[in-house]
Amino acid sequence: MSIPQGKTRQQQKGDDLCAAIMRALSGEADIHYRGQRLYQGLRQLQVHAPHLQTDPAHDDFSSFRGTADSIALRLLHTDPVLHRQLCPADPVERLVFELLEQLRVETMAPDTMPGMTQNLRHRFAAWSHAFHQSGLTESSSGILLYTVFQICWSRLIGQPVLERTEGLIESTRAAIAPILGKDLLGIRRNCRDQSVYAQHARAIAAMVGEMIRSDGDAQDDNQKTNAKEDVKSAFRLLLQFDSDETDTMTVAATGQSKVLEDAEHGYAIFSTQYDRQADAGSLVRKALLREYRERIDQRIVELGINIPRLARALMKLLALPQRDGWSFGEEEGYLDGRRLTQLITSPAERRLFRLEQYKPDADCLISFLVDCSGSMKTHAESITILIDVLVRALEQAGVGSEVLGFTTGAWNGGRAQRDWMRTGSPANPGRLNELFHMVFKNAQQTWRRARPDITALLKADLYREGIDGEAVEWACKRLQLRNEKRRILVVISDGCPMDSATNLANDEFYLANHLKQVVARQELRGEVEICGLGVGLDLSTYYSRSLATDLPHSLNNGLLLEIAQLIGARRR
């Protein structure tokens, strides 16, 4: 496993655990991470307190734990409406106020959870240390803020300030302690009462703000700008630790799409005239398919993948015991009428009864939707192996499966784009390309029958551009026509939706935002569960259930079992 891959996976695992602990602590079931940002339902949760801005590159897991605990306490104990009302407008004051409110809820960690208290303290100490290390305490406003934070923290938790910086803050502390004395006592005493506490916190924030402002005024103009720079750079660190290192996997990029938001009827399609759907097997010569098949079979053998074990794992995740017929010839249970004669003919024979049988039965259909955009070409082989193995394992577990692919009929818009030019290129035409949806294996086919067709995934000419939103809608529609009780769609993709003609004619994130809308709508309807399997990319921006993989390097039993977990997990 390559290092960045391992790191991202660990990070994702850590995020999942942190989100889960927040759900358990706060009782809010819809908290989750998307693209390393915290969401409650569809709304992003804002975390303003400076010491809760974590950075995967530098912070250890205990820090993440502390942050998660602190956010959970905040959800439990802060009235957000009251907080917004009382929050001061000045950025410096607001920063102090946010931090003080966060420290207030941290004092309310239950006594029964000593581990949580440990985590919270660890996080604050680690953040203080980073603050100090970054050299921010060298400026006068930096040391002032730092000292205030340290004193308030030490007052609230009733512990001495951090030993390492005790000497550093000594003189500042002596100067401001008498001014803040009354309010420090106030916050200490009123931890349980948000509104009274906020009065004192506001007073402290106002004093700090005043001191920083007067500090700036006292100096001449040149230095004044310097002081302002100081404060600004302090905020950069306080509000966000920018990470320059890119040794984790990238998160799928995203942004606002003004065209899509402003459109009256939502997502638009310029022309559906050229959209096609085809059986993939018919697009490739039979002889070539046979050749591909041999290659894939050879590779699967080389990889040494344990398909029965994967099948058992999937079975365990997807199947439920169902009443299924009778087992006859039992020694107890219901009398089996057909064996009554046997009672007369051989009275010693006791196996006259029948019992109800419960068999694990997976009433489930899984559809794989493969992004056949140009960049996926390089991953074609590993994707084909992955899908072939999964389909085979699912079949052994008695679960139906479908393999679909989406691409476009042409590069750069094809005929749809030419038609658009011909009509005089009206603004914001919507999707501008020929859709091309492929069926590699439908739900009725068995793996044995679809064997050659699946390998059509290897045919490089099929890979063009990708319009994910409509493809997900199409796949969901196919699933909704099925009778299976549980329907799961697995989208395998290595990037955001990409179609150059559409992006040029509308805006950059038009297709990406449509994909988000489609997934959110389907998740809300709840008929189809959707999960994203990112190839070298973290897809959590789009899909609430996702797994990032680094496919060519790590195609092994471990990864397959993790994918099985992703498919089978029942969440939200």
Partner 1 sequence: MTDLAHLKPDHMVSIRTLFGIDSDLMVPAFRERDDHVPDRDDAYRFNSDVTLAILAGFTRNRRVMVQGLHGTGKSTHIEQVAARLNWPCVRVNLDGHISRLDLVGKDTIVLRDEKQITEFQEGIVPWALQRPLALIFDEYDAGRPDVMFVIQRILERDGKFTLLDQNRVIHPHPYFRLFATSNTVGLGNLNGMYHGTQALNHAQIDRWNIVASLNYLPAAEEVAIVQARVPALANEAGQKLAASMVAVAELTRKGFAAGDLSCLMSPRTVITWAENCEIFPDTALAFRLSFLNKCDEAERSLVAEYFQRCFGQELTESHQNALQDIV
Residues that bind partner 1 (CB under 8 A): 6, 10, 13-14, 17, 20-21, 23-25, 27-29, 61-62, 65, 69, 110-119, 320-321, 333-334, 356, 358, 565, 569-572
Residue 14 beta carbon to partner 1: minimum distance, rounded to whole angstroms: 6
Residue 122 beta carbon to partner 1: minimum distance, rounded to whole angstroms: 11
Nearer to partner 1, 287 or 524 (CB): 524
Token pair, residue 226, equals: 């310097």
Residue 324 beta carbon to partner 1: minimum distance, rounded to whole angstroms: 13
Based on the number of CB atoms within 10 Å of its own CB, is 213 exposed (0-12), middle (13-18) or buried (19 or more)?
Answer: middle
Nearer to partner 1, 12 or 502 (CB): 12
Based on the number of CB atoms within 10 Å of its own CB, is 310 exposed (0-12), middle (13-18) or buried (19 or more)?
Answer: buried
Residue 24 beta carbon to partner 1: minimum distance, rounded to whole angstroms: 4
Nearer to partner 1, 14 or 88 (CB): 14
Nearer to partner 1, 14 or 409 (CB): 14
Q: CB 415: neighbour CB atoms within 10 A?
A: 14
Nearer to partner 1, 333 or 452 (CB): 333
Distance of CA 85 to the CA centre of its chain: 32
Pairing label, strands 43-44, 435-441: unpaired
Nearer to partner 1, 113 or 185 (CB): 113
Between CA 365 and CA 404 the distance in angstroms is 13
Residue 17 beta carbon to partner 1: minimum distance, rounded to whole angstroms: 5
Residue 20 beta carbon to partner 1: minimum distance, rounded to whole angstroms: 5
Phi, psi of 546 (to 5 degrees): -150, 160
Nearer to partner 1, 115 or 266 (CB): 115
Q: For the chain, how are helix, strand and coil distributed in percent, rounded to 5?
A: 55, 15, 30
Residue 231 beta carbon to partner 1: minimum distance, rounded to whole angstroms: 36
Q: Which of 203, 200, 206, 204 is nearest to 186 (CA)?
A: 200
DSSP 8-class letter at 375: G
First to last CA, the chain: 30
Nearer to partner 1, 252 or 567 (CB): 567
Residue 404 beta carbon to partner 1: minimum distance, rounded to whole angstroms: 28
Nearer to partner 1, 255 or 321 (CB): 321
Q: CB 457: neighbour CB atoms within 10 A?
A: 29
Which residues neighbour 38 within 8 Å (Cβ) at sequence distance 6 or greater? 19, 31, 32, 44, 45, 47, 71
Rg (CA), the chain: 30
Residue 69 beta carbon to partner 1: minimum distance, rounded to whole angstroms: 7
Nearer to partner 1, 272 or 322 (CB): 322
DSSP 8-class letter at 439: E
Tell me the three state secondary structure of residue 339: helix
Residue 560 beta carbon to partner 1: minimum distance, rounded to whole angstroms: 14
Token pair, residue 444, equals: 């009725």
* Residue 242, CA atoms < 13 Å, CB-side half-sphere: 5
Residue 308 beta carbon to partner 1: minimum distance, rounded to whole angstroms: 18
Task: Find tokens 């002596």 and name the residue.
Answer: 174
Q: Are 157 and 142 in contact (CB under 8 A)?
A: no
Q: Residues of 428-446 as b/e, b for ≥16 C-beta within 10 angstroms?
A: ebbbbbbbbbbbbbbbebe
Nearer to partner 1, 58 or 571 (CB): 571
Between CA 208 and CA 231 the distance in angstroms is 13
